[in-house]
Chains A and B, each alone.
Chain A
Amino acid sequence: MNYKSTLIYLIISTLYLLTLKLVWIILSVLQGLELTNITLETNLILGLSLSLLSILFGNKINLLIKNLGLSLVFTYVFYVINNATPLWFYFGIFSIYFLFLNNIRNYDLKYLNQPHVIEKVTFKYITLFGIVFFSLVILFPFYIMLVTSFKTQASLLMNPLDFSLDFTKDFKEFFKSYIVVFKTYNFSRYILTSTIVSVGTVAITLLFAIPAAYAVARLNFFGKTFLSTSILIIYMFPAIVLVIPLYTIFSQLGLRNSISGLLIVYTATTLPVAIYMLQGYFKSIPKEIEDAALIDGHNWFSIILKIIIPLSLPAIASVALYVFMIAWNEFLFSLMFLDNPKTFTLSRAINYLSGDAETPRQFLMAGSVIVTLPILLIFIYFEKYLVGGLTSGSIKG
């Protein structure tokens, strides 16, 4: 038996189990549970003995029976020590034990005798810790955003830890923040504006970018190399430098507080990257098809329309989604150009709401959910395309 590696395995796995439990305890506390009598020492001992038992049993007995049995026994011990909390909390503890045992199913005394085993075990656990850490750090704020929108300001100020939701309330009470946000704060108008601006930006950008990208990718003309390099350099120019001159020019032209002004700026700022992304894809389309079409007497416009666009739909989808995301999330220009509530986009409207210290936080969070949900749903549904767009164009941020 390799004592050193066994000991290290025991320590790390116990720490991992403790982390899992801690996350579960924090989440339970946020449901309003009072978990004050859980101590570190008992949990350390529980964790150590569970990991030890697991490697001692090894794979001498059926894995499922071993995992289920051990989890049940340890959950019962945990219940006896801590006592008196609702059943669902113990169900979570049971799941954690089961998951943990499943994670360490490959380890037994034989395994721990292999070379490099300490490194391997450590790496394995770093991965496991990483999964827990990243999931928690990323999802927790989104969870808070969602749950806060269903609470009331008073109850949150009284107990900032109680995020339990009362599902017995009737529909109108439960969605009250959303109803208020739509009725008194006019969010349906902002959703419309944001949609018009984002979809409009995508349409105009594609309209301008596809011909330009085709010209850069295929045709020979004077100044081509200069142009294609300057596209990227222009793209790197910071928006904050453009804000003041654009503000003054737009003020004098009367384009501030107008959707068309916003559309112009968004289109111009996304055009360089759209051209850059599209021309890369167009170059990968075999040229022979176009040559054949040219001989058949098609002109360049019909080549773009009938050959290039149908062949590069995936790339166009990537660009469209990426541009949509930029336009939907954009804040700086909408902050500078819009100060009339009639022309607000969603982001600007939420910023405006937060400017009033009296606005209850659940309304602010309801607004945040309204602006976040569409873009996340689009992302999940079209993930393949959007990731394509991000990797080819997302030097921007």
Chain B
Amino acid sequence: MADKLSKIEKRTAYALILPAILLVFSIILFPIFANIWISFKEVELKDIRIPEPRAKKIIKSIPEDPTKLVIVYKLRNSSLLENITDVKLKDKLPANIEFINIDPRCNFKSRTLLCSFGEWKAKYRENLEFIIYNVNGNSIDKKSLKSKKPKLSGKADNILLTTNFTLNNFKKVFFKNDFKDLLLTTFYFTFFGTLGAIIFGVLAAQLVNQKFSGRTFMRSILLFPYVGPVVALAYTWTLLLDPNSGTLNAILIKFQILDQPINLLGQKYLTFQFLGIDLKLRLALTTVIFFEIWRYFPLAFLFVLARLQAIPKDLYEAADVDGAGPLNKFFNITLPQITAIISILFMIRFIWNFNKFEDIFLLTGGASGTRTLPINVYEQGFAISNIGMGSAVSMVIVLILIIFMISYFKLIGKKANEL
């Protein structure tokens, strides 16, 4: 009895879970393997349309003889690059129709026209004409003749399915693609974006964890940047930071902080002097990082706040009795309590920031020194239309992430053992 029940249980479990698994498998796991496959091929955007034979049926009447009609099949190869072999056409015609002249490649049997053409070269075009007549001597119904569409079949190489692989994409990624600069930019963006978001998140959480009027209101608005759609927010910031008519530059000039507007999103470097040394700042990248911090500190805030509210109050009361000041309390009570959540947050945010595409794409499009690896995937795949290269770059991203995750878990794991 119990055995039977567990069998039913298993079967039910599989039935419940299978639809979800199939969907996730086909849309996430399968594409990941497809990505590995494509990254070893030299494929361009224009190659991915499968060449197919096409035919359009046109009926013309002959004025002198209403019992006869002309059928024209406009044939063509949809591809400009690939040949199609073994092309066949099949068309079903209404009853009582006979052909006057029939092409040697075709035959007509039991109301069905069957043609086999053999190979069509790329760009192939032909107009195939027949004259037909009605056996009964009546006029032919044009509508029923037109209602059926001809069926075509043919074999063509799908470039994605062939098995010639090459390492060229990866060679190009590493040696011809400013790889060092790409990697550095991505790391700057990811590291400082993550760090900043966490710092501001902790500050905001510390803030909201105190008692003041309007605290719930504050908690809601702190989440606005994360909840709002990235497109709207990015364009608002672009307008705000615009050098010519942006509000920020106008305010700074009005209050005489700046003499000249600065193009915060369009200028690659800002040179300035500090202690007599010339320093160069990646200006556009810094601006993008600040946008990133602005948009994602709410997440860190949310997690840290949840942790802060779980810290027992008597810890602080005991510290008060001991005469500890606020600074002491923060470093000796609060900080140790939130280090665990901060390190988890750091890893998760690091991974997501490493893959961040939309924010940079919408703000700068990857120009002025903000080209990160995800932006490069898009550029290679869709701007330059080299899908193979794009896939190769995205494989590099996955590889780096896996390395990062493993090393991070080892590091954190060791620390956890020591404690």
User: Which residues on A are within 8 Å of B, measured CB to CB?
Assistant: 26, 29-30, 115-116, 119-120, 122-123, 127, 130-131, 134-135, 137-139, 141-142, 144-145, 148, 156-157, 160-161, 163, 208-209, 211-212, 214-216, 219-222, 224, 227, 234, 236-249, 251-252, 264-265, 267-269, 271-272, 275, 299-300, 325, 328-329, 331-332, 336, 346-347, 350-351, 354, 361, 364-365, 367-369, 371-372, 375-376, 379-380, 383, 386-387, 390-391, 394-397
**A-B interface contact total, Cβ < 8 Å:** 285
Report the stretch among B122-130, B137-145, B227-235, B408-416 that lies at the interface: B227-235
> Which of A212, A224, A245, A396 sits near B35, CB closer than 8 Å?
A245
Asked if A240 and B326 make an inter-chain contact with CB atoms under 8 angstroms apart, the answer reads no
A138 and B225 within 8 A (CB): yes
A–B complex contacts, Cβ < 8 Å, 11 sampled: A139-B224, A142-B228, A219-B13, A238-B401, A244-B394, A247-B387, A248-B160, A268-B26, A269-B27, A328-B229, A390-B302
How many angstroms between the C-alpha atoms of A144 and B228 in the bound complex? Answer: 14
A268 to B387, CA, bound (A): 23
Are B325 and A368 in contact, CB atoms less than 8 angstroms apart?
no
- Interface SS of chain A: helix
Question: Is B258 an interface residue when CB atoms closer than 8 A count as contact?
Answer: no
Quick check: B10 and A221 within 8 Å, CB to CB? yes
CB–CB A215/B24 < 8 A? no
Q: Which residues of A contact B249 (CB under 8 A)?
A: 160
Q: Report the minimum CB–CB distance from B241 to chain A (whole Å).
A: 10
- A215 is contacted by which of B12, B26, B362 (Cβ under 8 Å)? B12
- Cβ B236 vs Cβ A240 within 8 A: no
Chain B, residues 146-157, CB within 8 Å of chain A (1/0): the string is 000000000000
Query: Which residue in chain B gives the minimum CB-CB distance to A361?
Result: B239
Is A252 a contact of B230 with CB atoms below 8 Å?
Answer: no
Shortest Cβ distance from A357 into chain B, in angstroms? Answer: 12
On whether A242 and B377 interact (CB within 8 A), knowing A29-B251, A119-B327, A156-B245, the answer reads no
Contact check, A138 vs B35: say whether CB atoms are below 8 A apart.
no
Which B positions have Cβ atoms within 8 angstroms of A?
6, 9-10, 12-17, 19-21, 23-24, 26-32, 34-35, 38, 43, 48-50, 158, 160, 203-204, 207, 210, 212, 214, 218, 220-233, 235-237, 239-240, 244-247, 249-251, 254, 294, 296, 299, 302-303, 306, 323-327, 348-349, 351-352, 354-355, 357-358, 362, 374, 377-378, 381-382, 387, 390-391, 394-395, 397-398, 401
- With a cutoff of 8 Å between Cβ atoms, the chain B residues found around residue A248 in the complex are 34, 38, 43, 48, 160, 387
A30 to B264, CA, bound (A): 21
Contacts A120-B326, A395-B348 aside, 19 further interface pairs with beta carbons under 8 A come to A30-B251, A119-B327, A138-B221, A138-B225, A144-B240, A145-B236, A161-B254, A215-B17, A227-B17, A238-B352, A241-B32, A243-B394, A246-B27, A269-B28, A346-B229, A351-B231, A368-B229, A371-B232, A397-B226
Would you give the shortest CB distance from B96 to chain A, in whole angstroms? 37
Q: What residues of B have a CB within 8 angstroms of the CB of A369 in the complex?
A: 232
CB-based contact A219/B10 at 8 Å:
yes
Contact B326 A119 (CB under 8 A): yes
- Tell me how far the C-beta of A17 lies from the nearest C-beta in chain B, rounded to whole angstroms: 17
With CB as the reference atom, state the residue of chain A lying closest to B210: A127
Q: How far is the CA of A15 from the CA of B261 in the complex (A)?
A: 27
B160 proximity list for chain A (CB < 8 A): 248, 252
Name the contact of A244 in the complex, choosing from B14, B20, B230, B390 (C-beta under 8 A). Answer: B390
Q: A300 contacts B236, CB within 8 Å?
A: no
* CB proximity of B316 to chain A, nearest CB, Å: 13
User: Chain A residues with Cβ under 8 A from B204's Cβ?
Assistant: 130, 134
User: Is B31 a contact partner of A245 (Cβ separation < 8 A)?
Assistant: yes
Q: Is the CB of A123 within 8 A of B349?
A: no
Contact partner, A144, options B236, B254, B324, B349, Cβ 8 Å: B236
Q: Which of A131, A227, A241, A246 contacts B212 (CB 8 A)?
A: A131
Whether A240 contacts B355 in the complex (CB less than 8 A), given A215-B13, A329-B229, A371-B232, comes out as: yes
Check A354–B235 contact: CB distance below 8 A: yes
CB distance from B370 to the nearest CB of A (A): 15
Residue of B235, B240, B303, B398 touching A241 (CB-CB under 8 A):
B398
User: How many angstroms from the CA of A116 to the CA of B328 in the assembled complex?
Assistant: 10
Are B34 and A245 in contact, with the CB atoms below 8 A? yes
Question: B256 to nearest A CB, angstroms?
Answer: 10
Chain B: minimal CB distance from A371 (Å)? 5
